[in-house]
Amino acid sequence: QVQLVESGGGLVQGGGSLRLSCAASGLTFSGYAMGWFRRAPGKEREFVAAISWSGGRPDYADPVKGRFTISRDNAKNTVYLRMNNLKPEDTAVYYCAAGRYSHYDGTYDYWGQGTQVTVSS
């Protein structure tokens, strides 16, 4: 069965950094685009970043451009999200997903359970 397991979340001060990881199993990892999404309290889930199956075409939501970097290691079946210069508005549960390259959550077939990121001011 497919599993996506996120890790690396936590509490950080504004301006700090975190690196999220998402380890995949039960699927041909290199056959899927990977995405990161987040859901802030009281808000809808939103797109954060996506990367194609080969590691090319990284793309980002406007609020995180220049601060976040998505990458993947197909040998380790893992996708990463490096988050720098974190802001309180980045506070959310972060989810990784596997599916078709897109900004839209409906195109992703598999989802992790999420990891909490809290940024203090």
Distance, in Å, from the CA atom of 8 to the CA atom of 26, rounded to the nearest integer, reads 21
Strands 10-13, 115-120: pairing kind: parallel
Residue 61: the pLDDT is 98
pLDDT bucket at 17, cuts 50 / 70 / 90: very high
Which candidate, 47, 90, 88, 85, places its Cα nearest to that of 66? 85
Residue 77: the pLDDT is 98
Name beta bridge partners: 2: none
Residue 52: the pLDDT is 97
CB-CB neighbours of 44 under 10 Å: 8
CB-CB neighbours of 67 under 10 Å: 15
Would you say residue 118 has pLDDT above 90?
A: yes
Distance, in Å, from the CA atom of 45 to the CA atom of 66, rounded to the nearest integer, reads 21
Residue 25: the pLDDT is 98
- Percentage of residues in the chain having pLDDT higher than 70: 100
Sign of the four-CA dihedral 12, 66, 37, 91: positive
Q: What is the mean pLDDT of the chain?
A: 97
User: pLDDT for 61-107, tens place per residue?
Assistant: 999 999 999 999 999 999 999 999 999 999 999 999 999 999 999 99
Which candidate, 23, 52, 17, 38, places its Cα nearest to that of 95? 38
Residue 56: the pLDDT is 82
Decide: 120 and 104 in contact? Cβ < 8 Å.
no
